[in-house]
Structure 1
Amino acid sequence: MRLKIQLRLLRSGQLPWSYPEWLRGLAYTAMARGLPQVAHQLHEEGWSHPEGRRYKPLTYSWLHGLRPNGSGLWAEGTVTWWASSPIPAVVEALALGLLLEPEVRLGPYPVMVERVEVESAPDFRETMTFTALSPITISTGERRGDGRLVKRYLSPEEAAFGRALAENLRRKAAAFYGRELRGELEIQPHPPYRSKLVRIHDTDIRGWLFSFTVSGDPELIRLGYEAGFGEHTASGFGMVRIYAHKPSAEAEI
């Protein structure tokens, strides 16, 4: 289930490159107003994988309609924001919260919610091409020479990138649906790739904007579309839309 949200900034201003952290605050504040119990589970508990790992069934885009302006992004007038989840109650919590109190805050900026609409789901097929609405990030653990295990963010140029995204989706399916989806899934990224490094809650996250073709189990493809591809989706990573033309990394971000 996916929302398309029109937000109007009540005063123009310069947003920092790290503004996606403000979107996270906006989303959780609205959900807490809409359906507090759902917001609490999403924020504090998540949905558990049988092996104990927890996942949060939420993804959202960055704002579309901003203009690069030197050291940040210029925000003026109306911008577009998408949010999605495979759990309808999560989307309902966000929509209800935004509609109950349509004047919200994006960091220090007052923002008016002008429109909230549910987007129709596409026809999910065995091969589809998507482009990122927010950067896609996935990592692996590597052991250093001193024996310490460290996290390394993968690049779309690495073969492990697509395999890690597919395995991440299978684990999310087990957490959200209570059953594993073991269907095949192949993810083929298309260059060029635009790297984005963003600091969220004192953590630097490396993600990538690009388009890609995914082939395999339509149920897994649908989960990627609704829950986001990769990690940190509840912090504004991994959201995609159908790409109708030739593969490209173009995005309005």
Structure 2
Amino acid sequence: MALPVHYNVLLQGVVYSSLNEALARRVHDHGWQVGGRRLKLFTFSRLRGDFRCRSGRLIFYGKIAWTIASPEEEILESLVVHLLRAKVLQIGQAKLELLSVEVPVPPSYRRPICLRALSPITVYSTFETSDGRKKTYYYTPREPEFGRLVLENLRRKIRAWMGEDIPLDGATFRPVRVSNRNLVVARYKDTIIKGWTGIYELDAPESYFRMALDAGLGAKNSQGFGCVEVWAPTKSVSLKEVEAGKR
């Protein structure tokens, strides 16, 4: 299978086309509103499998895994029903045989917990320059604003989904195993977006933990950013080694 290097928009199209029409329109046009913002409350990972980059395209070989997450069960149910009926996953012009659809058991909550980014986490601020132009600044995980904005974003998602404001209760979000190699520069339509993969530690109330897994971390989740899973170091790797970036 061959795909363009920047394929997020194709995967997003698969999600919407796999929902029943009324649901797809509701999620796309309205979503969940909070503070004048409309949140889509779903996210998805990058494709995971063996690939090579040739002539500006990604050539995938063998089996491919893809994760889609949402707190809205109707979205997940509609996706599963459509995909099982179709038995084919079409991404752009490529048609893939669907081997299985898995719904994992929700992981147990604990505090703190390590999360691995399955798609880049993007955190940014937009401001106006002295000459009136808008400029977007993307934060790095080393900056304190990165963790603070991730938590504020989760709080906003919880408020949109649950209709209540859950206090942070001393919550923290920090990089554990992140280096410059984890920087991802992606293109979504005509927009360049910077995000970071890697391993992070979330220490927060359970509702924050659940929302992180269900709707993603950071911004632009419905465009394929911020999808995460629970991660644990192997027995042969100590936490100190992980934090030091060793293996």
Are the counterparts in 2 of residues 131 and 211 from structure 1 also a CA contact under 8 Å?
Answer: yes
Structure 1: distance between partners of 2:81 and 2:21: 11
3-state SS of paired residue (1:117): coil
1:187 maps to 2:173:
yes
SS at match of 1:241: strand
Deviation at 1:204, TM superposition (A): 1.5
The 2-side partners of 1:154 and 1:230 are apart by: 11
TM-score of the superposed pair, with normalisation by structure 1? 0.86
Match of 2:51 among 60, 67, 70: 67
Whether 2:231 is the aligned partner of 1:243: answer yes
How much has 1:96 moved relative to structure 2? 1.4
Write the distance in 2 (CA, Å) between the matches of 1:164 and 1:199: 22
1:26 counterpart residue number: 14
Number of aligned residues: 233
Matches within 5 A, 1:165-204: 165-184=150-169, 185-190=171-176, 191-193=178-180, 194-204=182-192
**1:149 CA displacement:** 4.3
C-alpha separation in 2, matches of 1:79 and 1:122 = 23
Deviations 1:201-232 (A, max 9, x none): 22221111111111121211111111100111
CA contact (8 A) 1:132 1:239 kept: yes
1:217-232 to structure 2, matched below 5 A, reads 217-232=205-220
Match of 1:215 in 2: 203
Structure 1 residues 178-187 or 138-147, which shifts more?
138-147
- 1:57 alignment partner AA: L
Q: Separation in 2 of the partners of 1:28 and 1:44?
A: 12
**In 1: Cα distance, 2:221 partner to 2:9 partner:** 12
CA deviation profile, 1:115-135 (whole Å, cap 9, x unmatched): 111101100112100111001
What letter corresponds to residue 238 of structure 1 in structure 2? G
Asked whether the 8 Å contact 2:52–2:60 carries over to 1, the reply is no
* Residues 66, 73 of structure 1: 8 Å contact kept: no
CA deviation digits over 1:45-83, x for unaligned, max 9? 11101x211101101111100323343422122200111
CA–CA distance in structure 1, aligned partners of residues 127 and 201 of structure 2: 28
1:234 counterpart = 2:219: no
Q: Any conservation in 1 of the 2:158–2:207 contact (CA below 8 Å)?
A: no
Q: Distance in 1 between matches of 2:111 and 2:22?
A: 36
Contact 1:105 1:111 in 2 (8 A): yes
1:161 is displaced (CA, Å) by: 0.3
Could you tell me the TM-score, scaled by structure 2's length? Answer: 0.88
Alignment of 1:15-164 (within 5 A): 15-31=3-19, 35-49=20-34, 51-70=35-54, 71-164=56-149
Aligned residue for 1:7?
none
- For 2:172, the aligned partner's letter is E
| Same amino acid, percent of matched pairs | 31
Amino acid at match of 1:220: Y
Give 5+ residue unaligned stretches, structure 1: 1-12
> Partner letter of residue 111 of structure 2?
E
The C-alpha deviation readout for 1:66-112, integer Å capped at 9, x for no partner, is: 32334342212220011111111111121111112122311111122
